[in-house]
Amino acid sequence: MADSVPRTILLAAPRGFCAGVDRAIEIVDIALQHYGAPVYVRHAIVHNTHVVADLEAKGAIFVEDEDEVPEGMPIVFSAHGIPPEVRERSAARGLEQIDATCPLVTKVHYEALEYAAKGMSIILIGHEGHQEVIGTMGQAPESINLVETPEDVAALDLPDPDRVAYISQTTLSVDETTGIIEAIKEKYPAARGPKGDDICYATQNRQDATKVLADRSDLILVVGSQNSSNSQRMVEVALNHGAPAAHLIDDAADIDPAWLEGVDTIGLTSGASAPDVLVSDVIDHLQALDRGAEVERLTVVDEQMHFALPAKLRNLPIAAVTG
């Protein structure tokens, strides 16, 4: 980068928290105010290390199994959703259940149950081991077949080719699912898909903004944690759409100065579970390195979405209830 040319930080919008993440974090905050600490949360409420650390500091305790929760205590289910047996085991322990599952994930659960009730074989497009996939497969385990690639589709041998349906993990790349859906339709022409796209609005909007960044940036930084599927996909989208370089960073401390050599325009965005304060910290860090760096805002979609809180929390008589 020539010294006479100030670096441009191209800041994407939309970015950061989606409505489902906002809702999930607010649910834990309200539960802490109402029940008092500790409140137990099954799995990371959202996949971001900073969010989890902040809630831990307030008194949330994160566990991977409901059996770790003392009997009778409140338990919050993460935004990624859970299989039905988790509710059953929690009820057996007398736990006060609070469900923070994203409504868009719940939509996929309903689709799975509907298809299974009709006796259809279900193909789930998703990543094995992801919490959302575990929760979705648990809705109808005898009917669901997980695929990650078109090759996985080719290996399927479903009992009735005329009774096939497909659903998908909400945080995948739109481009990634397109090829797999094409493979499904080629092998099972009668396959039925959901009434609306399972890829969530926030995932798609952030990927669309990332594509525009890729056209205009020498380097793209995506703020998000390594266990965030939607953040990982944004890096892939950036590279697949021509960005010379793209990196996933948890915060400003992860930036390697070598990445910035010869870079005039930095595209900056963040995954759906990353707090915007982390993006501000990255901007401050970059401007400290280059006093001439200017921020240019790039708005691709004007995102307006809000999800109501669960009824049991909306009715609590505390000032924190805003949903």
**Is 176 an annotated catalytic residue?**
no
* Residue 29, both tokens: 């905050």
- 242 phi/psi in degrees, rounded to 5: 100, 5
Asked if 133 contacts 92 with a C-beta cutoff of 8 angstroms, the reply is: no
The residue annotated as part of the active site, out of 26, 66, 111, 132, is 132
CA distance 62 to 232: 23
Q: State the chain's maximal CA–CA distance in angstroms.
A: 68
Residue 32's nearest CA partner among 59, 56, 54, 7 is: 59
Helix, strand, coil percentages (3-state) for the chain, rounded to 5, are: 40, 20, 40
> Amino acid identity, residue 198?
D
Residues composing the chain: 323
- Which residues, 6+ apart, have CB-to-CB distance to 222 below 8 Å? 210, 231, 234, 235, 238, 246, 247, 248, 249, 269, 270, 271
CA separation for the pair 43, 62 (Å, rounded): 6
Q: For residues 276 and 126, what is the distance between their CA atoms, to the nearest angstrom?
A: 27
Name the CA dihedral angle for 44, 48, 54, 59, rounded to a multiple of 10 degrees.
0
Locate 225 and state its tokens.
């944690």
Helices (H) and strands (E) in the chain, counts: 11, 12
- Which residues touch 157 (CB under 8 Å, ≥6 apart)? none
In angstroms, the CA 194 to CA 223 distance is: 31
Which residues belong to the active site? 132
